[in-house]
Amino acid sequence: MPTDLLRQVWGFDGFRPGQLEIVETVADGRDVLAIMPTGGGKSLCYQLPALMRDGVTVVISPLIALMRDQVRALREAGVAAGALTSGNTQDETDAVFQALSQGELKMLYMAPERLASGGTVNLLRGAGVTAIAVDEAHCVSQWGHDFRPDYLRIGDLKRALNVPLAAFTATADAETRAEIVTRLFDGAEPVTYLRGFDRPNIRLTFQPKDSPRKQLLSFVAARRGQSGIVYCASRARTESLADALNADGHSAAAYHAGMEAGPRRDVEARFQREDGLIVVATVAFGMGIDKPDIRWVLHSDLPKSIESYYQEIGRAGRDGDPAETLTLYGPDDIRFRRTQIDEGLADGPRKAADHARLNALLGLAESTGCRRRKLLGYFGEELEQDCGNCDICLHPPKLFDATEAVRKALSAMLRTGEWFGSGHLIDILTGNVTDKVRDRGHDQLPTFGVGRDYGRTQWQAIFRQMMGLDLCRPDPERHGALFLTDAAHPVLRGEESVTLRHDATLRAKGGNVIKT
Ligand code: ADP
Ligand code: ZN
């Protein structure tokens, strides 16, 4: 029966992974939480059951344009659907009320703001509503980036109507999930589905940032004529890197939110239309871009969280053909992202959550095992074996026991009062007597010169990985002076060991290889 409807109403031959199970469970009238990536086909998972069930399904969504599109498409397919949004004309609204009171609607789309009026709830109570579907359910999370206060009213609506609720989202981290369960389901565990986050055709690669311009040019040199996106953390950089690409004979355009709407639309249209255009953009680019053959995505700066990373690389290879990604990261990126969080307007708990999301990405960047396993693991999906399509699987890095080195670095940090950045700490460790070292008497410290067995660049790699493992953090109040996190103490006390990677760029530069 679901398969027949799928063919008749939507004209699709089969279900996407996970869809049928969700459709059947929702149609069964059970509470469901479904976590599927963007583009995974969530809407079908509440639309189809609505046709299988008696009565009206209310769909709550924060995206008015999307609701209108869906209602239009459903109507064209012969489904009695209507929407109550602020974009309605009075006539449209009257028609919806009319259809509702006569029991002629199957699906009623509604903006969450509607729930603020008691009248809406009363209206729905008498309208034969038999199910609620909530799109973008993560909007109920106060720690998330898309919090919509009116989403908090959905729990009341469910109680008032006493009907099953199916919630959908692409945001899968554990805190958000827990918050959805508390607020939408009164804490009663719904049947939960988490499917389809793997995009096996996308190759995952990270590289320490050395010279981003050079790294970018050498990456694209091997991919001439392919469409790709370069993501940058600043507007100025989108312009300078686009210039560099054009000077090198590529076809590139900058894109950022500071540009006028007109030129922005031009870039979007060119990207859709032309083969082989490279868009060098801030995160402003990508929403609503639906180009299946983007062959690569390069992050010239570290994204702000593991969710952003996943979403941004996910724009590559929608056609299922092989696609490449490369993410560059260095200590400056870590500092920049931490400062961005610390200096933001969010409250304490939210800042802590943002640091944790950044940490998850840094952990991925510094991973010593299969990156895809780690990435999917974050979303709660387990990969049976290593992926064979990430840089670690393809070129397993050399690892070394860095416990001693890390302890020396942490101890140098402690003994100088957590007042200095990595440059000065490396001077101390390598026994480099600078004016600053002499003035502060740091050449008298017991840690002075204890790290001579590694060179400066090697120490930089060690510090970067230490920051990546969140053993230490730059303090924005002290010009980025490094301080120890709680995770550092067990290492310092000798209770935990630390394994680090040989640094790819250091090897390439011919620096003396870290002893193993
Ligand atoms: P999202 O999960 O991002 O809300 P949508 O529900 O918008 O995704 O679906 C993404 C696209 O996939 C839509 O164009 C939709 O028509 C298409 N789609 C969904 N399910 C199927 C299917 N079973 N077969 C073919 N196309 C599908
Ligand atoms: Zn792998």
Which ipTM score applies to this complex? 0.97
Number of the ligand 1 atom closest to the C-alpha atom of 40: 2
CA-proximal residue: ligand 1, atom 25 (nearest): 12
Q: What percent of the chain has pLDDT over 70?
A: 97
Choose among 117, 108, 102: nearest CA to 88: 108
Q: How far is the CA of 493 from the centre of ligand 2 (A)?
A: 33
CA pair distance 132, 129, nearest whole angstrom: 8
Q: Which residues contact 53 (CB under 8 A, 6 or more apart)?
A: 27, 29, 130, 131
| Whether pLDDT at 327 is above 90 | yes
Q: How far is the CA of 40 from the centre of ligand 1 (A)?
A: 6
CA pair distance 334, 311, nearest whole angstrom: 19
Number of the ligand 1 atom closest to the C-alpha atom of 16: 23
Residue 248: the pLDDT is: 96
Cβ–ligand 1 contact at 44 (below 6 Å): yes
Number of the ligand 1 atom closest to the C-alpha atom of 6: 23
368 versus 414: which is more confidently predicted? 414
CA-proximal residue: ligand 1, atom 26 (nearest): 12
CA pair distance 284, 336, nearest whole angstrom: 18
Cβ–ligand 1 contact at 169 (below 6 Å): no
Q: Give 373's pLDDT tier (boundaries 50, 70, 90).
A: very high
Handedness of CA 219, 225, 227, 232 (dihedral sign): positive
Tally the C-alpha atoms within 13 A of residue 413's C-alpha that lie toward its C-beta. Answer: 26
Strands (E), 197-315: 202-203, 206-208, 228-231, 252-255, 278-281, 296-299
Residue 195: the pLDDT is: 77
Q: Give 192's pLDDT tier (boundaries 50, 70, 90).
A: very high
513 versus 292: which is more confidently predicted? 292
Q: Whole-structure pTM over 0.80, yes or no? A: no
| Whether pLDDT at 515 is above 50 | no
Which residues have their alpha-adjacent CB atom under 5 A from ion ligand 2? 370, 372, 386-387, 390, 393
Mean pLDDT of the 285-314 span? 91
Cβ–ligand 1 contact at 36 (below 6 Å): yes
**Helical residues (DSSP H) of 53-115, grouped into ranges:** 64-76, 90-101
Cβ–ligand 1 contact at 16 (below 6 Å): yes
Tokens of residue 117, six digits: 């009026």
Q: How far is the CA of 200 from the centre of ligand 2 (A)?
A: 10
Most confident listed range (184-188, 367-371, 405-409, 471-475): 405-409
